[in-house]
Amino acid sequence: MKNTKSLCLGLLFIVASLNNVNAQFGGLKDKLLKVGTAQGAKALGVDKFLKQPAAITTSFEDVNREGEKMPDFITSLKLKAQPLYLLPKNPEGGFVLCEGLYEMTNKSYCLKAGTFAPSKGDGYMFAPVLGPKEEIVVSILKSAEKHPEVEQHDIQALLWTIIARTKFADYNGQVKVTAIKLLTTKQLTQLEGGALGVLPFDVMEKAKDQLPSGVRAVFEAENNIRQLVASGNYTYADMEKYAIVAGMAPPRSDVPSGIWTKHPDGYYVRYFPSGYSITKVQVYVPKELLANGNKLVYDAAGDIACPANTGSQRLAQTNEPLEANYSLKLTTICNPK
């Protein structure tokens, strides 16, 4: 009995000693981990993080403004816009164009976190989807057409996750389910390339000090989104809070709302966003463009409505009309070859 009592007292002494050591050195361990993280970041160089290319790089500099037309360009032609979605479907996606003026209100998606939502007066012009993840983004938009059961919010959350350069290994929650549904196994593995993990606080603070304010907001928003996705505990509203900046960016007077871009294929296109999730697009096809039997296709899955103001959001376009009325008929005789 005496030996048992001595053993118990010895165990209690050991536990107390361990607790005392932990009290003395536990904080030191945290400090060492913190220093190790900072040293690791220093060894890699904060520049490494800052020089990582954005997932989508499209900017207003990628807009070809040759042949642009002011908003009143089409007025003199006295054309009435017809539903774009009534044009013949192209087997590879999009719509086969005929001469005339067409319009469609479609789903659109924000492709730049940490920026202002579209506001009245913003001028948007056509630019292609560009960047390391352009193929994946376009694939998501095309795949979404075949999966109407997937909510627009879920697709937007996935796009923000990709724009934030989140490693697929860190995907958790609904965004992972959406990714698996809309992307191939090969594309899922490609999400690891060029991705960033959740950056520690010290690294973020050091990186932010080296960035101009506009870029800093985007960089911080992307890291916050990576943290949310990795946690698995988030709502769409949580993600939107970081992706969409409150307020509005001042419009540029040289790029008014409703400006027309001459598309590389020769037709004209313009955009009228309503927030970031809805865009009305208008397409004007001159008769002479089809004179030689050319087949022209409007496939919005590779298009971005790009704001002249760099503080506003790039809007990925889609071939998915909202509130389509298929009982309507085209007034133009449309028999594309």
> In which band, very low, low, confident or very high, does the pLDDT at 337 lie, cut at 50, 70 and 90?
low
Say if 46 falls within a structural domain: no
Provide CB contacts within 8 A for 92, sequence distance 6+: 297, 299
Length reported for the chain:
337
Number of domains in the chain: 1
pLDDT at residue 260 is higher than 60: yes
pLDDT at residue 31 is higher than 90: no
pLDDT at residue 3 is higher than 60: no
pLDDT, tens digit (0-9, with 9 covering 90-100), for 284-335: 999 999 888 788 999 999 999 999 987 889 999 999 999 999 999 998 877 6
Question: Locate tokens 């298009």: which residue?
Answer: 303
Tell me how far CA of residue 193 lies from CA of 51, 112, 189, in angstroms. 14, 19, 8
In this prediction, residue 59 carries a pLDDT of 93
CA distance 331 to 318: 24
Say if 21 falls within a structural domain: no
**Of 2-16, 19-33, 55-69, 227-241, minimum mean pLDDT range:** 19-33
In this prediction, residue 253 carries a pLDDT of 74
Say if 20 falls within a structural domain: no
Tokens of 305: 């409505």
Say if 290 falls within a structural domain: yes
pTM: 0.82
Say if 112 falls within a structural domain: yes
DSSP H helix total and E strand total for the chain: 9, 12
Highest mean pLDDT among 47-51, 121-125, 183-187, 243-247: 183-187
DSSP string covering 43-102 = HH-HHHHHTSPPS----GGG---TT-B-GGGGGGGTPPPEEGGGSPBPTTSSEE--SEEE
CA distance 226 to 232: 10
pLDDT at residue 256 is higher than 80: yes
With H, G, I as helix, E, B as strand and everything else as coil, classify residue 245.
Answer: strand
Query: Which contiguous run of DSSP H or E holds residue 28?
Result: helix 2-44
Say if 40 falls within a structural domain: no
Say if 9 falls within a structural domain: no
- Residue 237's domain comprises 67-321
Q: How many CA atoms lie within 13 A of 197 on its CB side?
A: 7
CA distance 49 to 204: 10
| Residue among 314, 131, 115, 124 at smallest CA distance from 213 | 115
Say if 213 falls within a structural domain: yes
221-242 as b/e: b if 16+ CB within 10 A: bbbbbbbbbbeeebebeebbbb
